[in-house]
Amino acid sequence: MDVAVREDSTRTARTGGLGVVRLLGPAFVASVAYVDPGNVAANVSAGAQFGFLLVWVLVAANAMAVVVQYLSAKLGIVTGRSLPEVVGQRFPRRVRLAYWGQAELVAAATDLAEVIGGAIALNLLFGLPLVLGGAITGAVSLALLVLQHRRRQRHFEFVITGLLVVLTVGFTAGLFVSPPPWSQAAAGLIPRFDGPQSVLLAASMLGATVMPHVIYLHSSLARDRHGRSRTDHETSYLLRATRWDVVIALVVAGGVNIAMLLLAATNLPGQDGTDTIGGAYAAIAGALGPVVAVLFAVGLLASGLASTSVGAYAGAEIMHGLLRVQIPLVVRRLVTLTPALLLLTTDLSPTSMLVISQVVLSFGIPFALIPLVVVTRDARVMGARRNGVVLHLAACAIAMVIVVLNVTLLTLTLFG
């Protein structure tokens, strides 16, 4: 834990006032995972194929994400432990190993999406081969992780938040050039589907919006930034600041996701090749001009660089919390980067790999979310800060909706 950051958080909690701004940051790091390249593939595909039909999925998923990320951060602040640590202490070794295996699979799917996204962006901007672009993305993410490891966490938060600003500009610029028909966009708030493919994309969008690896990670981010406060007043203040942190960060991330879908729904329906990011880039260039297309690619690059750093950070925290094992940062980065680079050498469509990776993430959500709901209601873990009845019921409802959607997706995939 960064002692200086913890002391700064405690001092701010005691003074109050505008000092709450100094406590913002962990949720902005977590929110980057909600606008990763997998989101680009899922949201652009949804907008191009189904217009405004699935706007409601993003709105609902983002509302779920606010609750989920707050619970994760709350766990870290109240207990001084991460979700993987709390879960690992409850399971026998064999169960911990199996649980870690599925969590690592989710982390690998995350890394795949983010490295591929960075590689596609570098290919679009500079014509670099995908494998080289993937290697560069991995190298930059390693540099950011070294920054987080050797310097104060606040430096890492500043860099990631800066990349969040860049990708926000990149992905929303097109809406100012060609605004959507707002009445049609509003109609997309009515929940409905249009066949199995729309359900598949909805699950992909959900997997890209409610991210299992940052459910694990946010508790670590809050713990490392704030520590475990010593007084009830400090805890209350930190939790209040965390609610602002989560809401602001995820409103930004949710707005970017919705902007991507609106951009595709407005400008890309009926155009050939929009089922790929490269095709969408070309279509955006044709419809809105090269400047908007370049901004879109820059946003994709910032998304890949930031989110792969956060994903690798999450993977390390998951391993440490569940297995109490830490391996050198460089070794872990090389191990997790290798599958993505190997897939980039194949003839598989990069965009298709991105969408499928988000489906894998969707199946991983219950394994992170259900334990989070259980432990944050447990008085033995949270004491007097355990979830109240209303918050607990909301969290249970969110978990149930996600599980039902995943079962529906599996049924349609296997038997549809």
Looking at residue 408, its pLDDT comes to 72
The upper half-sphere exposure of residue 64, i.e. CA atoms within 13 Å in the direction of its Cβ, equals 27
pLDDT, one tens digit per residue, over 311-343 is 888 888 899 999 888 887 778 888 888 888 888
- Distances from the Cα of 125 to the Cαs of 37, 120, 131, 135, in angstroms? 15, 9, 15, 16
Share of the chain above pLDDT 90, in %: 45
Cβ-based burial of 325 (10 A; exposed 0-12, middle 13-18, buried ≥19): exposed
pLDDT at 255: 95
Q: Which pTM was predicted?
A: 0.89
Residue 219 inside a domain? The answer is yes
The whole-number average pLDDT for the span 93-108 is 86
Residue 282 pLDDT more than 80? yes
pLDDT higher at 121 or 157: 121
Per-residue pLDDT reduced to its tens digit, 226-243: 876 668 888 999 999 999
> Which CATH number characterizes residue 253's domain?
1.20.1740.10
Using an 8 Å Cβ cutoff, are 403 and 200 in contact?
no
Query: Is the predicted pLDDT of residue 46 greater than 50, yes or no?
Result: yes
Q: How far apart are CA 84 and CA 372, in angstroms?
A: 10
Q: Is residue 34 part of a domain?
A: yes
Proportion of the chain above pLDDT 70, given as a percent: 89
As for how many domains the chain has, the answer is 1
Using H for helix, E for strand and C for coil, what is the string for 50-74?
Answer: HCCCCHHHHHHHHHHHHHHHHHHHH
Q: Is residue 9 a part of any domain in this protein?
A: no
How much is the pLDDT for 1?
A: 45
In a domain, 2, yes or no: no
Q: State residue 382's pLDDT score.
A: 95
Residue 6 lies in a domain: no
Residue 5 lies in a domain: no
Quick check: is 353 in a domain?
yes
In one-letter notation, the amino acid at residue 350 is: P
Q: Mean pLDDT throughout 58-79?
A: 94
On whether residue 130 sits in a domain, the answer given is yes
Residue in this structure with the two tokens 């809406």, named with its chain if needed? 175
Phi-psi region of 190 (alpha: psi -120 to 50; beta: other; left: phi over 0): beta
Domain membership of residue 399 as a residue range = 21-415
- The pLDDT of 141-158, averaged and rounded, is 78
Residue 259 confidence (pLDDT): 95
Residue 15's pLDDT band (cuts 50, 70, 90) = very low
Predicted pLDDT at 136: 95
Whether 251 shows a pLDDT value over 70: the answer reads: yes
Query: Residue 127 — φ and ψ, nearest 5°?
Result: 75, 20
